[in-house]
Amino acid sequence: MGKSDETKGKLIRSSAEIFAQKGYAASTTREIADSAGVSEAVLFKYYKNKKGLLHETILDFIEQISLDSVFESVDGIVKNNKEMPTEDLFRKLFKDRYSMIDKNFQMFKMLVIEIQYHEDVRDIFIEKVMPRIAHYAKVMSSLLEERDDIRSDLDYTAIIRSFMGVVLLTIVQKKMLPELIDTNDGIDTEIENMVDMFMRGILKGEEK
């Protein structure tokens, strides 16, 4: 890696951290440059303005999360556990997706925030990431169709959307509202509870 690439890498990492913490509007190019250990003049050598740096930061993250390696664990779980009980399979998928999003939470947070205010950022996300999400939602939906214990009157894609919503809610609670999660039991117990409620609902029925 040349010095130019190394400097750009530092700027991208610094901007990702600062944008995620403070948001785009409240961040300045000076503090990003300071965090990267370079002058503001060097920053503007590589990026025309703060918006250009945001685009590069978002694009870099999107390239990372659209890689096969981010999704291949889902593919492996689905293909290698076809005989696994449905609840155990969802538990395994829950922990896998939770771990991936948890490790990249600040970047996901930045992406979700900036998509609301920058149409061009939203367009990049739709072009680069949505096809991957749609593909794996279809893969998981096909898996559900093959299972006898899943209600056939439900839309399988809607089940997957609801499932991912539960995963995201659990992460948001842990990161932003930690007091809602009993720290004595920890996140593993919370995941067990969420999977249980997702699979069985909250109405009385057959006990486990």
Judgement on whether residues 117 and 155 belong to the same structural domain of the protein:
yes
Q: What is the mean pLDDT of the chain?
A: 85
Are 17 and 87 contained in the same domain?
no
Domain-located, residue 61: no
Identify whether 51 is part of a domain: yes
120-169 pLDDT tens trace: 888 888 888 888 888 878 888 888 888 888 888 989 889 988 998 999 88
* 19 token code pair: 């944008």
Same domain, 88 and 36: no
Q: How far apart are CA 160 and CA 41, in angstroms?
A: 47
Is the per-residue pLDDT at 106 higher than 90?
A: no
**Rounded Cα gap, residues 67 and 26, in angstroms:** 30
Shared domain for 46 and 73, answered yes or no, is: no
Q: What is the identity of the amino acid at 107? A: M
Same domain as 5, residue 97:
no
| High-pLDDT (> 70) share of the chain, % | 91
User: What pLDDT is stored for residue 1 in this prediction?
Assistant: 52
Last-in-domain residue among 56, 76, 97: 56
Higher pLDDT, 181 or 55: 55
Query: Looking at the structure, do residues 78 and 156 belong to the same domain, yes or no?
Result: yes
pTM attached to this predicted model? 0.77
Same domain, 103 and 16: no
Phi-psi region of 45 (alpha: psi -120 to 50; beta: other; left: phi over 0): alpha
Range of the domain at 11: 1-56
With CA atoms as reference, report the closest residue to 57 among 143, 112, 128, 121: 121
Q: How many domains does the chain have?
A: 2
